[in-house]
Amino acid sequence: MKQNRVNAVLKNMESMNLSQILITDPLAIFYLTGRMIKPFERFYALYLNQNGNHKIFINQLETVPEDLGVEKVRFTDSDPYLDLVIKAIDCKEPLGIDKNMAARFLLPLIDRKAASGFVNASLALDQARAVKDTQEQELMRKASKLNDMAMTEITRFFKEGVTETELAEQLKKIYRDLGADGLSFEPLFAFGENAASGHHWPDQTKLKAGDCIVADIGCTWEGYCSDMTRTYFYKEVTNRQQEVYNLVLKANEEAEKAVAPGVSLSSLDQIARGIITEQGYGAAFTHRLGHFIGLEAHEFGDVSSASTGQAVAGNIFSIEPGVYLEKDMGVRIEDLVLVTEQGYERLNHLSKDLTVVE
């Protein structure tokens, strides 16, 4: 068990007046134990109690290390495992559960009155996960470093006639060769007018001179995600493309510079959106400025006009303004930033200068 992380969750629970929580989200359990188990349809849960009487429920089919640092309760497919869970839960107190707990586990607990009430307590986990500890920061740095290298490498494959799909496949090979352990998400490449949609998926479109190339890519390192977008131009660039690019770049840079502990997240969105709106492209910036990231590419917490929170040292989120012009082009520039005690650290180090690839 990662005791500091467990303590953070217990502290968050305290402010929710919760003495116990039952966690079934495998990623949340990984976060707390350091051990990844994918249970598929089987029951797998971590029970935490303020009294320290934590337990982990794991099917016998899973191999787990001896020293998980928490009492293991093992059961087989034919065991009445819910009896074991109910025995552990204090039925006189409300039970926190995570937002993704499946109905097939939750309903029987409710029917059998395993607790005095059932509360979605995911915030206790999400708020802890939003503040990365030094170990997590190091893994996130490494993932973004690999991502920088991969982006540099993939630009070598920008050739007349290459398709978006071919680039996506080539990138996966690059990630493997670099030793990344997986993808944060399926790589996104969009050429020319395909880039006018914020979420175009790679297809058989061929690259041609004058196209913009939006590359939104991310790999994982020990489970932690990177996520970066760069926009390139192939062989030639028009004045308008340059104008849009430099506008998005300015929005990206000014928002990043403002990142510091205590700064409201909505003000970051405002800075970027203000710059873009001032030049008449406000309606073309169709999404929030950024999202939190960690073990998942999109984690709890966003950087938008609707955000009510403030940046806290240890937060890692994306800064990714974009301008999308229908039937024409798109530009997005995205970095991950870590909020530090002094201000911020950018996790991506790849140049953002306007680049025309020959």
Query: By the criterion CB under 8 A, which residues form the site for a second copy?
Result: 40-41, 78, 97-104, 106-107, 110, 118-120, 122, 165, 169, 173, 176, 298, 306
C-beta closer to a second copy: residue 101 or 196: 101
C-beta closer to a second copy: residue 104 or 327: 104
**Two tokens, residue 216:** 């939104």
Length of the chain: 358
C-beta closer to a second copy: residue 16 or 107: 107
C-beta closer to a second copy: residue 174 or 347: 174
Least separation in angstroms between CB 201 and a second copy: 12
Q: Which helix H or strand E contains 6, and what residues bound it?
A: helix 3-14
| Exposed e or buried b per residue across 137-165, where buried means at least 16 C-beta atoms within 10 angstroms of its C-beta | bebbbbbbbbbbbbbebbeeebeeebbbe
Least separation in angstroms between CB 269 and a second copy: 15
Backbone angles phi, psi at 320, to 5 degrees: -140, 70
Amino acid at 139: L
C-beta closer to a second copy: residue 14 or 77: 77
Least separation in angstroms between CB 288 and a second copy: 10
Rounded CA separation 35/14 (Å): 25
* CA 309, chain centre distance (Å): 18
Rounded CA separation 116/20 (Å): 11
C-beta closer to a second copy: residue 184 or 241: 184
202 Cβ contact list (under 8 Å, min separation 6):
163, 164, 165, 167, 168, 187, 188, 189, 190
Least separation in angstroms between CB 36 and a second copy: 13
Least separation in angstroms between CB 91 and a second copy: 17
Least separation in angstroms between CB 277 and a second copy: 21
